[in-house]
Structure 1
Amino acid sequence: MNDSSKKLSLTSSLLIGLAAVSIIASMFFPWWKMVFYAPQYPEGLNIIVYPNKLDGQIDIINGLNHYIGMSNFGEENFPELSYLIYIIGGLAGLTFITAVLRKRAVLYGLIVLFATGGLTGVLDLHFALKKYGSNLSPEAPIKIDPFIPPIIGENTVANFITHSLLGTGLYLIIAAFILLLIPLWKDRAK
């Protein structure tokens, strides 16, 4: 019997089931946010990204971004928000199926799918940020050089300091991924 056909232990199955619960829970929390600080906004302005919607002081931020020629943020500009929740639900379902089947080969496939989805999400966010920061209107009242806000970290544009942060939902997704990796170590061939 080769390594990939061996059954995972019951403990590993429970960890995979817990990963599925973590994935489902992630749908109810923000995945990412940007907080904009400036002298006139010391409390900060937020753009908060959930898997299916945007939240925060988006109207105020759009009004300010107009001055540097940046396009408006809005759910209509992020078609991913209309279907991402279904992909996450599907991933949770596949994770539950993996927990029930307890097959290594299925777990390997799930991990590859999970990692591919994560990489795709990071690239999608990077390209969206690049589009917003580098396609500035030449007719804008305030001229600034094009820029790419970081996915995680700090950026300064004019008198605004922007902090990009992971949200609770994404930490739950990271926890789920780690829970999927533990059985590979725990049930490794002796």
Structure 2
Amino acid sequence: MSRAALVVIDVQESFRQRPIWAYASQPDIVAQVNRLVDAARRRGDLVVWVLHAEPGSAGVFDPAAGHVRLIDGLAPAAGEPTLVKTSHNAFTSTNLQQLLTQAGIRDLTVCGIRTEQCVETTARVGCDLGYEMTFVTDATVTFPIPHRDLPADATPEQILADPRTLSTEQIVTRTEYALAGRFATVRTVAELTAAPAGA
């Protein structure tokens, strides 16, 4: 049995309900995640699915709205756990660490939504907990981030028109710089799904 796991974070319908989804950094996220999942299953790695919920919020992350579910095209196989978190990282509000400890897993690969938020935070916390973390940037999604002074109800068009807005390219670059050599090894889907030499 492998001592590695792939953790798929928040690739859920909630995000597709927001207008900013049209500006997602990786529109092909389902295919990218499926490539990682298929490779993990072939290796015998554990695949863990994580969803984010904000009960009682009346928003797209409120389970009552019906959007706290994997995006169509993604599906856990038998025996693959699905955890629901209420924190930014996948550890604090779930039993993920217990699950990994019981399985003897020390190597974690993370992907999902959003690059600099829940996925990056999980990588940082996982590193602090002693896991060997791999961050697959091109299997993550982020969106343009408005300046803190822009009104909370700004439209995607207003966000994109503001010169202070961080682009998805800037966010990805900053995340990779912050994680690499400190909290995680940054890898690509192609690197992690390539056939082993001699295979």
Task: Please give the range of the TM-score, normalised by the shorter of the 2 chains.
Answer: under 0.3
TM norm structure 1: 0.28
TM norm structure 2: 0.27
**Higher RCO (CA 8 Å, separation ≥ 6 residues):** 1
Higher helix share: 1
Between Structure 1 and Structure 2, whose CA radius of gyration is higher? 1
